[in-house]
Chain A
Amino acid sequence: MKIAVLSGKGGTGKTFVSVNLACAAGKSAYVDCDVEEPNGHLFLKHDITDRLPVSVTVPQIDANKCTGCRKCVDFCKYNALALIKNELLIFYEVCHSCGGCILFCPEKAFTEKEREIGTIEEGISGEVAVLTGCLNTGEVSGVPIIKGLMEKLPEQGTVVIDCPPGSACVVMESIREADFCVLVAEPTLFGVHNLAMVYDLVKLFNKPFGVVLNKCLPEENPAEQFCVDHKIKVLAKIPFNEELGKLNSRGLIAVRENRQYQELFQRLLNTLEKEAVS
């Protein structure tokens, strides 16, 4: 089963839930799709077995062939090309790799080249197979890395996909292959507001889903109220406590440190399996 963990708001505990779910499952896979700020590796500390560069195809110009006709400049919707003093400049950071300039240049003055934007790392941490993507700093889009990760998803067993925050294209790419979505919410008004957004997202893509309420305090929980109001299944409630905060701040995995959390996440896995088939 492929489980995507998402939240809308950052810092609600996506990585905490994802890493612990994967470890509680025993033999499983953890996939970090938050390629802008991947954090799972800080906890899993996996032994790296393979490291692959991720590239995008971009144009390069043969200045001798370019006549300065501007056809490519006018065509490019992303303003990635400019003709300045008869010299064609290419702004690779904003290029979407559509290939239009290469295709439509009347002089065939472009060729393709590969440009590295990040990496995918494979490794192993205990019984957990780790796949983690990382976008180079200064790069705009992690989508090609997420697509690369999706191609490498194992077909069998428990696969936990740790998604980026927000609700934009990168999140959509990350949940594409998921059989079930776990929405992690914290008990604040911000948490609820962003939970409402990812709730809309998973409904839009017709994914079965449930909510994990994280950092629960004894006081009223607006995120729980949201679940009641919208008849959303609450999969688990994780208390706010100092021990979890401390373990997390030091990069330790709760289920590997304390039996109590192994049981909590094992119960969550059982619930997920039941929910996914129903």
Chain B
Amino acid sequence: MKQLLILSGKGGTGKTTVSSAFIELSKGHAFADCDVDAPNLHLVVSQMSDPIKTDYFGFGKAMIDDSKCIHCSLCEENCRFGAIQDGAVGIYECEGCGVCLEICPVQAITMSDYSSGSLMLYKNNGKVFSTAQLKMGSGASGKLVAAVKKQLVNETTDAELAIIDGSPGIGCPVIASISGVDMVLIVAEPTISGMHDMKRIIDTAKHFGVSCAVCINKFDVNPDNTKEIENYCTGLAIPVIGKIPFDETVIKAVNRCQSIACYPDSPAGKAIASIWINLYQNYLGGGAR
């Protein structure tokens, strides 16, 4: 199964809009949302049955047994995260490293399981959709993303392509989502922020040796910047595989829990459909249809 990952660097450029349209257009059987700390794809993929939800245990959290503690403060002095104060562990600071357990002379500290989010699996009509929701303020987002992808691969039997919606940024969830994918499609936006962030996500994808392509969303908002994006990509031999115009139908579709692909005659719907065909036939090894 090939894996296509949609990224952008900057948030709000249209990752989920593009992903959900591709899922609809490809009649895809395998898809995932790796934006675990602000997932939205489940809101716009066509009706699926209720998900199977499992608690996800990331790193544990240290627990101090007051009855055993001799207040030697060795744990406090050796915790690099400043997570132990006055004999109490701060659950948001503790990263579950286990130094305190090992250093405690009276074995007063244990590691307790800590659910850092929920893993969700939707499965029906031969479709598999893997997603998750990170618990507020949690730090194990990269591990949860890896679990989302593992779940997708384990549960899928016969899909030729997996479509994966990514998260903004360039840090741990993004890096975890890049691992093992065949191609990254970057949704760029012709604003000064969108361009800056596109360059950083291209660097990140290159750092991990994944090939990428770019599509430009709301390209008509600033034609000069669009031209600059095209020139930049050409310079790096990164294909720009299509441009999507600004179209209020996108907002309407989202607010009706629909993909823009459900509006095939809209300007944005048309553009995304042609991007999909280009991507599928020329970059993902799909035959002419």
Q: List the interface of chain A (C-beta within 8 A of B).
A: 8-12, 15, 34, 36-37, 39, 42-43, 57, 75, 77-78, 93, 96-100, 103-104, 135, 137-143, 164-172, 186-190, 193-194, 197, 200-201, 204-205, 217, 222, 245-246, 248-251
Contact = CB atoms under 8 A, between A and B. Distances in A.
Contacts of B12: 9-12, 186
Contacts of B35: 166
A142 B77 CA distance: 24
Contact of A137 (B10, B203, B251): B203
Given A245-B221, A249-B192, A250-B222, A9 B251 contact: no
B278 interface: no
A249 B191 contact: yes
A137 B200 CA distance: 7
Contacts of B59: 77
Contacts of B193: 15, 37, 39, 42, 248, 251
B22 to A, nearest CB: 17
A172 B175 contact: no
Interface stretch (B63-71, B133-141, B262-270): B133-141
Interface stretch (B96-104, B154-162, B233-241, B280-288): B96-104
Interface stretch (B23-31, B47-55, B122-130, B164-172): B164-172
Please report whether the interface of chain A is mostly helix, strand, loop or mixed according to DSSP.
loop
B175 A140 contact: yes
* List of 4 A-B pairs having minimum Cβ-Cβ separation, nearest first: A10-B11, A11-B12, A98-B97, A166-B37
A251 B225 CA distance: 11
Contacts of A11: 10-13, 168, 189
Given A11-B189, A37-B170, A75-B102, 18 more contacts: A10-B38, A11-B10, A15-B193, A37-B196, A37-B200, A39-B197, A57-B80, A77-B97, A135-B171, A141-B171, A166-B35, A172-B92, A189-B43, A222-B255, A245-B221, A249-B190, A249-B222, A251-B193
A166 B222 contact: no
B245 to A, nearest CB: 14
Contact of A97 (B80, B142, B200): B80
A13 to B, nearest CB: 9
B136 A197 contact: yes
B134 to A, nearest CB: 6
A10 B92 CA distance: 23
A75 B96 CA distance: 11
B204 to A, nearest CB: 5
Contacts of A167: 37-38, 134, 136-137
